[in-house]
Amino acid sequence: MIMAGNRGGLKGFFVALTILGVLLGAVGLHFLVFYYRPVPETKIVAIQKKWNLQKAARALEMEGVIFSAFWMRVLAKATGHTVVQAGEYRFEQGRLPKAILGQLQSGMGVLEYRFVVPEGLSAKEIGLLMAKQGWSDVEGLLFGSQFLQQMNLDSASVEGWLFPDTYFYRGGDSAADVARRMVERGRRVLAQEWEGRPKAFAMTAYQALILASIVEKETGQGTERPLIAGVFHNRIKRDMMLQSDPTVIYGIADFDGNLTRKHLNTPTPYNTYARKGLPPTPICNPGQAAIHAVFHPESTKALYFVANGNGAHIFSSTLEEHEKNVDIYQRHSKPRP
């Protein structure tokens, strides 16, 4: 009876062991199928900021990149790859789960988009470009006081600080993320130019930024910027009004493209025909060449310049000479009413 009981117990043990072996084999086979199953077709999946591995794995499973979020978490813990980077990922057809996990940790394969900010655009114009990229509430961001405070900008406006350049961003990056990078880049450039300024330079860094924005709007010719900066420096030293059309235009809320004498005679904080000195803020966002030109203006006696109709300007040192140039180069233009 005892022997029979032992045989029955051993039989039950071996049955249980067999079942356990089958189960372990099935589990192992399931993992191997997961581990060696490649991405069936190229997929683009967005991994949001602040997502943990569990949420990321679930998103990959739902999109068909992997077939088991559970095994992805197991693999991550086994390899120590439990941190994921946010962004829009491109997972190529044929890629295996281990490589996918490496992508998530390193950020490799995250799609980047290009955002080009040309020189000389106003903050409003840059905001419109940002809105076209799909970002919302850009106006509230750029023209609200909160962003100025966050960036510690001691100025009345973000104008001038949004440095023109080519920026790359990832899916999930906000308008604030990109605007922050523009301001940080602008600060670095201004600080760099400020460090290299001549000892006799009489302006503050912010005043130089304001003047650079005027130089930027006055000419599209890179070679002219130092000379135009020199003209404005000369006028400031002589306590003359800057008389810059772009400043007047900036101060007109509903400007329709036609600058009139009425505009020139209307006093606004930006009308440099009606008031001396610089306007209160920059009138656009200047590039480094314009900023550099203000810190290193060309030595000149010129006090005036007029457009020659070909994108460049004619410079003169006397009012009489300037009026002759105006007559020559603008005689066919319609007089301002």
What is the rounded CA–CA span in Å between residue 289 and residue 201? 17
Mean pLDDT, the chain cut into blocks of 10 residues (337 residues total): 54 55 51 72 86 88 84 81 85 86 84 94 95 89 90 92 95 90 96 94 96 96 94 96 94 84 89 95 97 96 90 91 88 51
The structure tokens listed for 19 are 């079942």
Tell which residue, 53, 92, 108, has the closest CA to residue 75. Answer: 53
Tell me the helices (H) and strands (E) count for the chain, helix number first.
14, 6
What is the rounded CA–CA span in Å between residue 193 and residue 206? 12
As to burial, measured by CB atoms within 10 angstroms (0-12 exposed, 13-18 middle, 19+ buried), residue 213 is buried
Provide the whole-model pTM: 0.79
pLDDT for 1 equals 46
Is the C-alpha dihedral spanning 162, 165, 166, 168 positive or negative? negative
Query: Euclidean distance between the first and final Cα of the chain, in Å?
Result: 124
Q: What angle do CA 147, 149, 150 make, to 5 degrees?
A: 65
**Residue 41, CA distances (Å) to 32, 44, 90 in order:** 20, 10, 11
What is the residue extent of each domain of the chain?
37-110, 112-191, 198-330
Superfamily of domain 37-110: Endolytic murein transglycosylase (3.30.1490.480)
What is the rounded CA–CA span in Å between residue 244 and residue 306? 11
pLDDT for 34 equals 65
As to burial, measured by CB atoms within 10 angstroms (0-12 exposed, 13-18 middle, 19+ buried), residue 78 is exposed
What is the rounded CA–CA span in Å between residue 21 and residue 182? 61
3-state SS class at 254: coil
Residues 6 or more apart from 302 whose CB is under 8 A from it?
227, 230, 231, 234, 315, 316, 317
